[in-house]
Structure formats: C-alpha cells, structure tokens
A and B are shown apart, each in its own frame.
Chain A
Amino acid sequence: MSAVDNPILTIDGLSVKLPKGADRSHALNGVSMAISADEIVCVVGESGSGKSVMANAIMRLLPGEVAIDGGRVLFEGKDLASASNTEMRKVRGAGIAMIFQEPMTALNPLRTIGDQIGEMFEIHTELSKTEIKARVLGLLQDVHIPDPVQAARAYPHELSGGQRQRAMIAMALALDPRLLIADEPTTALDVTTQAQILKLIKELQSRRNTAVLFITHDFGVVAEIADRVVVMQHGNVVEQGAVKDVLTNPQHPYTQQLIAAVPPLTAPPPRALSDDIILTLDNVSKTYRNGGFLGRGVRVTHAVKSVSLKLPRGATLGIVGESGSGKSTLARCIIRLIDPDGGAIVLEGKDWAKLTRDEVRRETKHIQMVFQDPFASLNPRRKAGDLVAQGPIVHGTPRAQAVAQAKELFRLVGLDPSAIDRFPHEFSGGQRQRIGLARALALKPDVLVADEAVSALDVSVQAQVLKMLHELRERLGLSIVFITHDLRVAAQICDLVAVMKDGEVVEHGLAGEVFGNPQHAYTQALLASIPGGDFARSRKPVTV
C-alpha cells in the first residue's frame, strides 16, 4: 500500500454488511485506503465492486439494512463510522460534500436551483438572505453556468444535463468542503459534456485545494483526472497506486484484465469491403410534431434530416453521435419500428420505406435488431428458449424444429444449450445480451441493426460480446448497422463510420480515416472529448 502524506480521510479495514438474502454477505470486506488534501483519487471497478457503497458509507448514507459492521473512517481526527447522527450532519455538506451520477434525479424537481444551493448556507451558516443570494450567484459563476441569475431562478427540468451537474457541483462546493466525493458524476452525460465537467472538477480542485474522491468505471476518466487510483473488485481493494504506475504497469491480474478490455480509439487495419451494396439509405427523414392544439403552437423536431448512407454486404456501418443526435430514431426507421416521413430504405432491391405494415411483418426476417437494455429487451415471463424460438414460430416454423434451432443458436452465441428452460432473470447482463442476439439471428437476417447493444455492459463483458460479434460476422457473413455513443467501441468493430449531430450525418467514411483524420469540426470535438489523453489514444488496437 502506497503511503499517503498528510491524509485528510483514512479508511481503515472498513466492512459493510448486506441484508440477508443478498448474493453475498458483505458489500465491503475490510477496505483500507487514504486520501490527502490536494489530490484526486479515482476508485475504479465494475458493477458490484462496492465502489459506490464505499462512497455512501463514508457519508453514512447507506440504505436501510446495509450497515457498517467493522473498521474506521477517520476524517479530521474523528471516526465517522461511530459518529452520532448530529455529528454526521455537521460533517455532511460542510466537511465532506457529494455529487451523484444522475443530476436530474439528484435535484428536487419542485424547488429552484438557487433555493437548493442556498439551503447549504441556511443550514450550516448564519448568513442573511441577501448574502446567501449573492453567494449562490458567485458559485454559479464559478462553475461557468451561462446566465447565473436565470439559472438560480430555474427549476432542474429547465436546465440541460451538463448545467444541472454544474449546479450540483456549485452546491457541493458551497461551503468549501475539505473533501468532495463524486459518484460517477459524468456517466449519464454525453462525451463532450463529460469533458467539460471533468475539466471543471479539475480546475476547481486545484483552485480550492479540495481533495476529490472520484468513483468511476471508466479507465479513460481515470487517466484523464486521477492522481492516484484504487481498483476494487467484489468489495475488496485489489490494487492501488499512482495513476501512471497502475495504468502502464498493472500488477494484479484483475487490473490487467480490466485495462486490456478498454477499447482503444485507434481502429484496426481496414478489411476489404465488398462492392455489392446490401442496404441503401437515401434521404431518409423523420419529423416529430407535438404539443399543438388546433394547429397552434406545434413544436416540430427534425429527428432525422435527409440521411443517405450505404452498407456494403458483409460490412459493419457504425452510426455514432450523442444523445438527441437522431441515431436511435434512424435505427428504428431502418427496421420500420418508426415510419419515416420521406426517403428510401432499399434492402436487396426492395424499398422498405414504402412497405405496408403487413408487408413489413412478412419481410422482417431479412432485417433484425439487437436492443440496448439487456433487462428490458427480454419478456420476463418467457423462457429463454421460447424467446429465441419465437421468431421462427411466428414465420411458420414448427415448434419442435424452432426449439431445436434455438439450442443450436445458444451454442453459437456461447450459451449453454441446456439453459433454454430458464427465465431471463436467471441470466447475467452479458448472457441476456447474448440471448437477444440469438433471438435476432434465429430468423437468419441479412442485416443486423444493433442499437447500443453493448452500452449497458461492464467493460470486460463488453469486450467479450464485441469479440463474439466479430466472430459471428465472419462466420455468418452478417452485414451490421451498429449504433453507439461510444467512439472507442465504434473504432473496434466498424468498417465504416457515420457521425450524426442534430439529425444530420456530418461526416462519414472508413473508420480509420474518420478517427485518424477527422474533417468536420464536430467530429474533431467529439474525438478530443474522449477522456484519457495518451492512454486512450496511443494504445494498440486489441487483436480479436
């Protein structure tokens, strides 16, 4: 364990027990670490590693039956693990402040931003109302919110995600706490917003000398912001040290595996692409109108604006963009879950944009989709085998034959064929995503549309699923439209990449060229926003 000079927070053998009936007895098993003033320590781990539990345990904000059952949390000479509630209340906000993952839900929707920040001063200081107001405006200026006066008066839903997180940070820093705990504060944000928030945290940290304990799952963020890093797995600290050492020379096998699974930004050498175009999008558009009453006050949203793209047979076309760019709407137009307003979607000579609903139903075996959410995309009341056999049965395959095929497909996507009788909740996230893939493949589609298919997965699981997609693509000659917000993932699997912004494709071309030599300013900004500096950019592509 690396020695820490002058620690302001020392965690010593901290254990946190879980309620009976949980999958393990402890969320934390004797965790020890320390953080000194003036440094940013990143705690990194996958879901279930206990990193968020640790953050909440320090603040003594653990839910219900989850409780500290051993160890100490020393902050300014006091053991927080055994402090009274009254003592804790004085520490919270004033001594240690906290920001959270989802700024929308972390702010009270019914009170103004200024009111919620001002509350910090109301409970911890004796300042007058006018002084508080002035301080709030000062804080909002500090976090570079455009028009602080307006922002103070606004309700959370009236601000953008990035502005909300800025407001959260302003609130957390109101009383100049010694320590700021940030629990995945950029995970819910777009990559360009994430870059700005990371920059802001770094700037404020160096200006105010606040120690920052930063919880994240993303090694790019670690490389971007951390001075030191603590790696956690199953409630244990497996490795900690200076960020340079851990990233370049990880000691523990788990750390090595995690770092190896992080996709680098550089694309592998290009594959030869066929001249045979299987799917052509020509000026596809989708416009939403809503809110209007008898033609007045109609709000028009151009979700997709004249998008034209070509997918060669056997190739993978990545569509990347931030939230609201229209990439998911486009995917749903291609598969006709949404009816496009205009343009042509030509698959094997047939214009899908012009098919009737009945025709789409019959033709749907040619094009299939894999969805984002491994929990929501499988009907919880059907057995896994039925889910996969369903498609062929709908299209007329006898049940017994469809079930036999389902077993085959289970083997194909790396699942145990005897698991077809289990229900979705008995599988892990990665396994469910494999079931979703098997379901799509059951109809032997020519084109597979994958909508953020690996985005909800932990990085090591993500790597496995990507590897499998690689193999299947070779084996089955699949043509894939791959929708993602994660440029690193796109770089790994896509032959061609199209970058979308506000419903338009701003740039498209071979993956290596788009990532290596971006032409459009927005693409450049996107690439520059990817956290991790050299760590993310100069690593060799993973060979799969």
Chain B
Amino acid sequence: MRILSLAGRRLAASIPTLFLILIGVFLLLQFAPGDTVDAMMAQMGGGDAATARELRKFYGLDLSIPMQLGNYLWRLIRLDLGFSSIYGKPVATVILERLPPTILLMTASLSFAFFFGLLLGVIAARGVNKWPDTLISTLGLVFYATPSFWFGLMAIVVFSIYLQWLPAGGFEDIGAVQTGFGRTIDIALHLILPTLTLGLIFLAIYLRIMRASMLEVLNLDFVRTARAKGLDETRVVVKHVLRNALLPMVTLIGLQAGTMLGGSVVVESVFSLPGLGRLAYESVVQRDLNTLLGIVFVSALLVILVNFLVDLLYARLDPRIQAEA
C-alpha cells in the first residue's frame, strides 16, 4: 500500500512534466513550414486560397497561438487528440491501431535484453578478467557499437534472403488469414528479428551495468559477512549479491524507456512493422503535425507508465525506499 502511494506520488509529479512536453512541442511545431491545412490541400491536389482560409477557420488555425494552445490542451483533457487529415480518421484512432505492435515489440525486446543482460553480466562478473569475461565484454562493446538498423538489414540478408528461415518484414502474414494459435505463432515469427535488432544495444548496456554492479556489490561488507557465515559462492551470489546488484539495472530500465521507444522508430521502419514508431516517421514525412503531436503525447505517456512500473518494482526490491516515503 505504501509502495503504491509512493509510486502514485511520483506518477502525479510527472503530470507537470507531461504538460511541459506538450506545450514545448506544440510551440515548436508552430515554427514548422506548412500546417495541417497545407498538408490537406496537398492531399486533395491543391485548392484555392479561399478554401484554405475556410479550412483554417474550421480547425481554429486562424486564432492566436496562445488561443490555439489553450484549445489544444482543453481538447486533450477530454482525450481528443484532433483529426488526422492524411489518414482521414481521428488521431486517437490512428494511434490506437498502431499501438499493439509497438508495445509487443518493446516488451519482447526489454525481456530479451534484461534476461540475457542479467545472465551474461553475472557470468562475466563471476569470472572477472578470465576468458568468458573477456569474450562477453568484447561482445557487449561490439553490440553497443552496432547501428540497430544496419544489424536489422544484415539479419534480413542472412535469415530471410539466404536461409529463408524468418520473414523479412511485416507484423503478420496477410495472405493467410489465421486465427488463435496459428496467428500467435505467425506474429511471434515476424517479431523475432525486430526484437533482436531493437534489444541488441540494450542487451549490451544491461550486461555492462550488471557486470559493474555485481563487481561493486561483491566488494561490499555484507558479502564478506555472508562468506564469514560459511556460505558457498553460488549461495553468496544468489542470496546476497544478485538482488542488490539488480537495483541499478532496474533504475536504468526506467531511464531508458524513452530511448527504447525512439529506437522502435528505426526498427519498425526496417521491418515495415505497422507500429507507433513507423507512424511517427510517416507523419514527419507527410507533415501530419496533428498526428505527430499525438504521438509525442502517447509516447510520453508510455514512458511515464513504464517508470511507474519500474518504481513499483524497485520499491518491492528495496525496503529502504519505503522508509523515505
């Protein structure tokens, strides 16, 4: 209960941040060459100035900027993100359609990076400066330096073009209409390469932080106490070191949620996944500023949500947090 109220308070504290972001990006977009109406006119294949004026008036774009901002925020409070002229649908609908692949991709990549980062980090720290450590640390450095989109392309060359094991892109096989289990398998197969591609750099980061934090915790006094009690090394690591060493890694997940969501823009483009990231890219190319602003809002919400979950997890792991509440 105390954990929940603590995390809840952090959540409430992020509301001003959210508004700060929206106001900032809204004002920023005022500098953009061309507005929604321009985009619309282009879509329609041009039109006269009078129509444009009519449309601007209809969308409230003839008002002063503070008025427009006020209108936007007021609509936002009622969860109305506006209308996308490019897709001909409300922005909220467009985004909701695109959300599932991104959330699936992020969850999968995070789990992959977390699990293997943890495992490799522990193995490296246990044999510090021996060959498994050198191998894992070197791999970590190489993964860290690999541009994700390039890794994705090369994975497509190897696994889709030459070996033909995995599909090269898309979220599911559109040709064969499948349901239930078959569809799940199909989507899973489509997500293997994107997951690896997006997760790779985070795997590198997590394994490095896990290794460093294991080495740090292994030097702490209570580990000596545990050894002085007669515990064997495996038990020392599992019972005393692991949970303490996990704390920095958990913090990092929260801090990097935004980076990961940003990474999905590129990865979704490489694998033609119909997700939020690809939508962001499309709306930039097509100058669909309403949708872009909506994506900013939703992705900030996602990051805040991830941080809320991370806070809950952290407080479960570390009893000292509750004392500070």
Contacts and interface: CB of A to CB of B under 8 A. Distances in A.
Given A107-B222, A293-B9, A92 B319 contact: no
Contact of A119 (B221, B239, B244, B319): B239
A100 B320 contact: no
Interface in B307-325: 317-320, 323-324
Contacts of A59: 227-228
Contacts of B222: 105-109
Given A100-B221, A105-B221, A110 B319 contact: yes
Interface in B114-162: none
A93 B323 contact: no
B305 interface: no
Given A102-B221, A158-B323, A293-B9, A108 B240 contact: yes
A97 interface: yes
A100 B227 CA distance: 13
Interface string B216-245: 000111101111111110010001100110
B323 A157 contact: yes
A105 B317 CA distance: 18
A61 B228 contact: yes
A123 B228 contact: no
Interface in A99-144: 100, 102, 105-111, 119-120, 123-124
Contacts of B323: 157-158
Interface string A72-111: 0000000000000000011111100110101001111111
B228 A155 contact: no
Interface residues of B, number: 25
A67 to B, nearest CB: 16
Contacts of B9: 293
B228 A92 contact: yes
A41 to B, nearest CB: 19
Given A102-B221, A155-B319, A157-B323, A123 B244 contact: no
Contact of B229 (A63, A119, A157, A293): A119
Contacts of B220: 105
Contact of B227 (A61, A124, A155, A158): A61
A76 B231 CA distance: 21
The 5 closest A-B pairs by CB, nearest first: A93-B230, A92-B230, A105-B221, A93-B229, A98-B228
Interface of A: 59, 61, 63, 89-94, 97-98, 100, 102, 105-111, 119-120, 123-124, 155, 157-158, 168, 171, 291, 293
29 contacts: A89-B231, A92-B228, A92-B230, A97-B228, A97-B229, A100-B221, A102-B221, A105-B221, A105-B222, A106-B222, A106-B224, A106-B225, A107-B222, A107-B225, A108-B226, A109-B222, A109-B244, A110-B244, A110-B319, A111-B240, A119-B231, A119-B239, A123-B229, A123-B231, A123-B235, A155-B319, A158-B323, A168-B225, A291-B324
